[in-house]
A and B are shown apart, each in its own frame.
Chain A
Amino acid sequence: MAKTIKEINEKIKRGSVVVVTAEEIIDLVEKKGEKKVAQEVDVVTTGTFGPMCSSGAYLNLGHSKPRIKLGAGRAYLNDVPAYTGWAAVDIYIGAAALPDDDPRNQVFPGGFHYGGGHVIEELVAGKDIKLVGTSYGTDCYPKKKIETWINLKDVNEAVLFNPRNCYQNYNVAVNLSEKVIYTYMGILQPRLGNASYCSAGQLSPLLNDPYYKTIGIGTRILLGGGIGYVVWNGTQHNPTVKRGENGVPRFPSGTLCVMGDLKQMSPEWLRGASFTGYGATLTVGIGIPIPILNEEIIRYTAVKDEEIWAQVVDYSESYPQVKPGSLGEVNYAQLKRGKITVNNKEVPTGGLSSYAKARQIAELLKRWIKKGEFLLTEPVAPIPSAESNIHFKSMNERPI
C-alpha cells in the first residue's frame, strides 16, 4: 500500500501524522517488521551538523546615496573579502574566505581564527558587520568608497546558498607518516595516532535515502535552523561509487546544493569553524524529512551505523598525492565506539560531525512536522543516481 506526499501532508495538516527520527525507526522496524512500520509511520526525519566548506551567503545590500558599484570592485565584511563579480550591491561571502592579512600558514600551522564562516555566524546572530567597499566609479554609480555597519535586518535579500552540503558518507582519515599533519579532517597524529571521521551515520540524510528516491530538487529541508530547499545536486556529486547490498555507498558519494533565507536561521545551527593548519569554514545543521511512501523506503531509513562502511585513508601521502586504495573499511558503530583497528594497531577515533546535534535537528524537524508547521514537498526533478553517467572526475591538467 503506497502513500503519497499529498496524503502525508493532509495528515500533517490534520495533526495525525506519525513521525519518528532515523534513529527511532531502527528499533521500530526491528520489533515490528518493515511492512507494519511502513504502514504506521509517515515520515522519518534525518539530521546532520558538520563542517561544510562549500557554503556561503549572498546579500543584496541596498543602494547607498549616491550609489556605489561594488560589482567588480572590492567589498569586505569584517575584513573578510566577499565576491563582487555580480551587480552593484549583490555580494557573496564564502565560508572559507580569509582576511587579506591573515598569515595563513606562513607560521605553520596557521590558526585561521576568523573567516567567512564566522562572518555568517555573526550576521545570523544579529551582530553589526563592518562593510568596507571600493569601486572604480561610473556616471550612474559615482561613489568610490564606502564604510558602514550593516545588519541582517537591514539588508534586502540574505540567502544562504551552499553549492556542496550533506556529503553522503566520507573517509576516515589517518596519518601514517612520522610527523603531525594538519588537515580538513583535523589534526592527525603520526603513526596512526588517531583517526577522524565525518558523518552522522545512521541519522545522516543521504545515508537514509541512498538512491535519492525521495530527496530531490525542490525538497523542503530544515537548514541552519530555518526553512531551506534542495536546489541541485552538490558539487562533486558521485552517485556511481561502489555501494553495499543495502544500497549505501562505501565511498564519499552524493552531495546536495541547498539554499534558504538566512534571516530565518540561527547561530545555533550555523557556526564558524577554524581548522588549524587548514582554513576556516562553516558548520551547517541540516534536517531532511523522508516520506515513507512504501516498504522499500522504510528499509533504507532503518539503516544502522554498523551497516554503513567507510574507507580508512592515509592523509599524509595517499590523499594529497591522489594515490588510490584504502587501508581498509570500518563501520560507523566501530567509529562511534571510539577505537578502530588499522594495520593491526588500535587507533582512537574522534568525529567532526556532531551526532548529538544531528539528533537535536532530527527531533526539531519532527516537532515542526507534528505541529503542522512543516509540509513535505514533492521534488520537481530527481538528483542523478547510481544509474546515471556521473562520476567525480579529477582535473584534466593540460599544459598551456
Chain B
Amino acid sequence: MQKKRIVLTFPSSLVDQPITYHLVKDYNLMINILSAKVTPREEGKLVMEVSGKKKFIDEGIQYLSNLGVNIQPLAKDITWHKEKCTHCTVCIAICPSGALALDRKEMLISFIKDRCIACELCIPACPYEAINIQF
C-alpha cells in the first residue's frame, strides 16, 4: 500500500473528462482531492493524494500521462526557508494538518513535508515569507 501526493496539470481539452472517476474505478485507487482549480477554456490543476497498491498507482499515473496530463510529485513544490523563519509561531494556529509544527519547549518551528496538504493558508500568514509554494 503506497501513498503519493501529486500535482496534475491538464489542458482545457481534458477538463470535462472524469479523470478522477477512472483512477478510482479502473485502478482501484483511493483519491483525496486536496485542492482543485478547474476553469473552462483554461488549464486545470488538481492536487491529490493517491493511495493504493504500487502497481496500480504506477498504472494510474501512466494512464494520466497517456491522456496528456502533466504529473509532478507534490513534496518538491513546498519550501520552508529555515533561514527566513523567525519562529514567531503565527503559522501554527493556521496550519490545518500539523505540517508546521512547534516544539513547545524550544519554541522552534519545523516543517514536516509529508503532512503538508498544500492548502496554502500559511503563505499569506507568514510575515517573513518563509514559506512558498510552486506548482
B121 and chain A: residue at smallest CB distance: A187
A349 touches B93 (CB 8 A): yes
Q: Say yes or no: A351 contacts B89, CB within 8 Å.
A: yes
- Residues facing B in A177-191 (CB within 8 A) are 186-187, 189
Contact of B107 among A109, A187, A195, A359 (CB under 8 A): A359
Please report which residues of chain A, range 264-305, place their CB below 8 angstroms from some CB of chain B when the two chains form the complex.
271, 273-277, 281, 283
Which of B86, B106, B129 neighbours the largest number of chain A CB atoms within 10 Å of its CB?
B86
Assess the A357–B129 pair: CB atoms within 8 A: no
A350 to B124, CA, bound (A): 14
What's the Cα separation between A49 and B90 when bound, in Å? 13
Q: Which residues of A contact B33 (CB under 8 A)?
A: none
Tell me whether A196 and B93 are in contact (CB under 8 A): yes
Q: Identify which of B89, B92, B93 contacts A354 (C-beta below 8 A).
A: B89
A271 vs B102: C-alpha distance when bound (angstroms): 21
Q: Kindly identify which residue among B93, B108, B125 contacts A276, using a CB–CB cutoff of 8 Å.
A: B125
Q: Contact at B127–A51, with CB atoms within 8 Å? A: yes
Pairwise interchain contact A273-B128, C-beta atoms closer than 8 A:
yes
Out of B92, B108, B127, which one reaches A348, CB within 8 Å? Answer: B92
Chain B residues numbered 96-135 whose CB sits less than 8 Å from any CB in chain A: 102, 104, 106-108, 124-125, 127-129
B107 A356 Cβ-Cβ under 8 A? yes
A185 to B103, CA, bound (A): 22
Known: A350-B93, A356-B107, A356-B108. A273 touches B127 (CB 8 A): yes
**Nearest chain A residue, comparing its CB with the CB of B87:** A356
Distance of A283 Cα from B90 Cα, bound (Å): 14
* A337-B104, A338-B102, A355-B107 as given contacts; A274 in contact with B127, CB under 8 Å: yes
Find out whether the CB atom of A351 lies under 8 angstroms from the CB atom of B106. no
A271 close to B86 (CB less than 8 A) = yes
B88 within 8 A of A: yes
A275 and B102 form a contact (CB under 8 A): no
B90 touches A351 (CB 8 A): yes
Instruction: List residues of chain B with CB within 8 A of the CB of A159.
Output: none
Expressed in whole angstroms, the Cα–Cα distance for A356 and B91 within the complex equals 15
Given contacts A338-B104, A355-B107, A356-B108, A187 and B89 within 8 Å (CB-CB): no
In the complex formed, the residue of A with least CB distance to B108 is A356
B84 closest partner in A (C-beta) = A271
CB pair A186 B125 closer than 8 Å: yes
How many Å lie between the Cα of A336 and that of B93 in the bound state? 11
Asked whether any CB of chain B lies closer than 8 Å to the CB of A194, the reply is yes
Q: Is the CB of A274 within 8 A of B125?
A: no
* Cβ contact within 8 Å between A283 and B124: no
The reply on B94 being an interface residue by CB < 8 A is yes
- Asked if A129 is at the interface (CB within 8 A of a chain B CB), the reply is no
A–B complex contacts, Cβ < 8 Å, 17 sampled: A49-B86, A189-B94, A271-B86, A271-B128, A274-B128, A281-B127, A336-B104, A337-B104, A338-B102, A348-B92, A350-B93, A351-B89, A352-B90, A354-B88, A355-B87, A356-B107, A359-B107
* 10 cross-chain pairs, A with B, having the tightest CB-CB distances, nearest first: A350-B93, A194-B93, A273-B127, A276-B124, A348-B93, A356-B87, A355-B107, A350-B90, A351-B89, A356-B107
